A and B are shown apart, each in its own frame.
Chain A
Amino acid sequence: MILLPLSHILIFSLLLFAIGVYGALVRRNIIGILISIELMLNAANINLIAFSKYTSLSPETGQIFALFVIAIAATAAAVGLAIVLALYRVRKTVLADEVNLLKW
């Protein structure tokens, strides 16, 4: 049962990834940047599962890697948001360009 060509799924995930990169580049709010990174990880996951469905010799491989990516994304979100909270407590800001203590 084949639904759509592989290239369409790849282009879709490429667009999703590009939107995520755009958000990570232009957002000032650190939480917004973290949300955009989640979007990018999601696009990568779609690619992994599409490849495991369409081309893989052992079809479990792609799904297991997607599982690992989801686990790492959850830890990244948890640690990132903890850093944001600690930063907010000290500096009273969540804007990335106002955290410039180490810049000169």
Chain B
Amino acid sequence: MPILELAAKFGTYVVMAVILVFAVGVVTFRNLFHCALCLAAALIGTAVIYVVLQAEYLAAIQILLYVGAVVTLVIFAIMLTEHLAGKTIRQNNSQSSLAIAGLLGFVALLTGLILKTPWPVTETALKAKVSVMGLGQALMGAYVFPFEVISIILIAALIGTVVIAKKDDPEEPS
């Protein structure tokens, strides 16, 4: 069905363009709350890209963890420090044009490299299907050591976050 494939291809490009528009919104909006909403939209669009690349489990994790947890956390932090994001405060520093110039060079260089490199796209890799079961078996088999390291990092970050963010005891000399 060439029509359907063409439509899917076109739709993917549209999703990519929408993600880029939202990403520009993330870095340019003055109101940080709007930035966080744009970030949520861009992350949902990325989940769509994951589905296109046949990584459905990753898409679900992306929406659960990023859109559900990280964006909520960011919005909490914005609310707690809110009244500094007012209209009168400059939101960008004065290195904007320098950053744009440098990044244009960076993007041009890497685009040239990407287009020149002969990527080893193999038919076997394209046909391979990743199931959630395969992911779990790899996580518990070949990648069990990094998995355990991640769990230690999560515990350490959890405790560290509570210690950093808790109010200092007034009686205790700090």
A residues near B, CB below 8 A? 1-4, 6-12, 14-16, 18-23, 25-29, 31-32, 34-36, 38-39, 42, 45-46, 49-50, 52-61, 63-64, 66-68, 70-75, 77-79, 81-86, 88-89, 93-95, 97
Contact = CB atoms under 8 A, between A and B. Distances in A.
Interface in B73-103: 73-74, 76-78, 80-81, 84-85, 89-93, 95-96, 99-100, 103
A59 B54 CA distance: 11
- A contact face: mostly helix, strand, loop, or mixed: helix
A73 to B, nearest CB: 7
A28 B84 CA distance: 12
- B contact face: mostly helix, strand, loop, or mixed: helix
Given A20-B23, A28-B92, A42-B46, A15 B107 contact: yes
B72 to A, nearest CB: 10
A55 B119 contact: yes
Nearest to A83: B164
Q: Which 7 A-B pairs have the closest CB atoms?
A: A23-B27, A75-B157, A82-B165, A60-B138, A81-B77, A25-B99, A82-B164
